[in-house]
Amino acid sequence: MPVFSTPDLCDANEGQVRILEPGLRNFGGRHAFFGAAVTIKCYEDNSLIKAQAVVPGEGRIMVVDGGGSLRRALVGDMIAGNALANGWAGFIIWGSVRDVDTLAELDLGVLALGTIPIRADKQGHGDLNGSVRFGGVQINSGDWVYADNNGVIVSAQPLELDRS
């Protein structure tokens, strides 16, 4: 995977990237990841996330607007394991996750607001591939997302990375 840092990408692409406000924490085993966004909007219901985790991810990132809820985990070890097995680069979740010790062992990016042990509902509610807005930024399916321990940036186009 190409090497990058979000500060360097911000400097090199000033005025062309959108920067999420701080608040997300890293729970995955991969601390820097990037890819095209697949957006999901759901509230305490992870049906769409579970369904997407079993389709080929092709290096994409599920960007999930969970409404900021800290009451139910939208991703845990089973969904994350399926996503990894199917080639997803990671998750960015404006909500909660669980099974964090297992998530930390997976070669998968997982950013979320927090943790809680209770699972989400599965009622089939939510929207796939619409625009989402959280952390002060609008994200569309197909936008490019770059995340590391410094933060998350979003670009309408892929950014040039160091290929060393």
pLDDT in tens, 48-105: 999 999 999 999 999 999 999 999 999 999 999 999 999 999 999 999 999 999 999 9
In angstroms, rounded to a whole number, what is the distance separating the alpha carbons of residues 164 and 162? 6
pLDDT of amino acid 164: 54
Q: Please state, in angstroms and rounded to a whole number, the distance separating the CA atoms of residues 135 and 68.
A: 10
Confidence (pLDDT) at 163: 61
What are the C-alpha distances in Å from 40 to residues 11, 96, 162?
A: 29, 14, 30
Helix (H, G, I), strand (E, B) or coil at 9: helix
Q: In order of start, what are the domains of the chain with their CATH numbers?
A: 6-154 (3.50.30.40)
Instruction: Give the closest residue to 59 by CA, choosing from 33, 93, 80, 30.
Output: 33
Across the chain, mean pLDDT equals 96
For the cut 70, the answer to whether the pLDDT of residue 32 exceeds it is yes
Q: How far apart are CA 123 and CA 126, in angstroms?
A: 9
Secondary structure (DSSP) of 91-140 = EEEEEEE--HHHHTTSSSEEEEEEE-SSBPB-S---EESS-EEETTEEE-
Task: Evaluate whether 72 touches 119 at the Cβ level (below 8 Å).
Answer: yes
Instruction: Show the tokens assigned to 153.
Output: 């940036």
What three-state secondary structure class fits 75? strand
pLDDT band at 123 (very low <50, low <70, confident <90, very high): confident
Tokens coding 40: 């999901």
Angle at 94 between CA 63 and CA 119, to 5 degrees: 100
Give the pLDDT confidence score for residue 1 in this predicted structure: 57
pLDDT in tens, 109-122: 999 999 999 999 88
Provide the pLDDT for residue 3.
Answer: 81
What pLDDT sits at residue 57? Answer: 98
Q: What pLDDT, on a 0 to 100 scale, did the predictor assign at position 161?
A: 85
Q: What confidence category does residue 9 fall into, taking pLDDT thresholds of 50, 70 and 90? A: very high
Q: What residues contact residue 27 under an 8 Å CB cut-off, 6+ apart?
A: 97, 100, 103, 104, 110, 111, 112, 115
Contact 111, 85 (CB under 8 A): no
* pLDDT > 70? residue 11: yes
> Structure pTM?
0.95
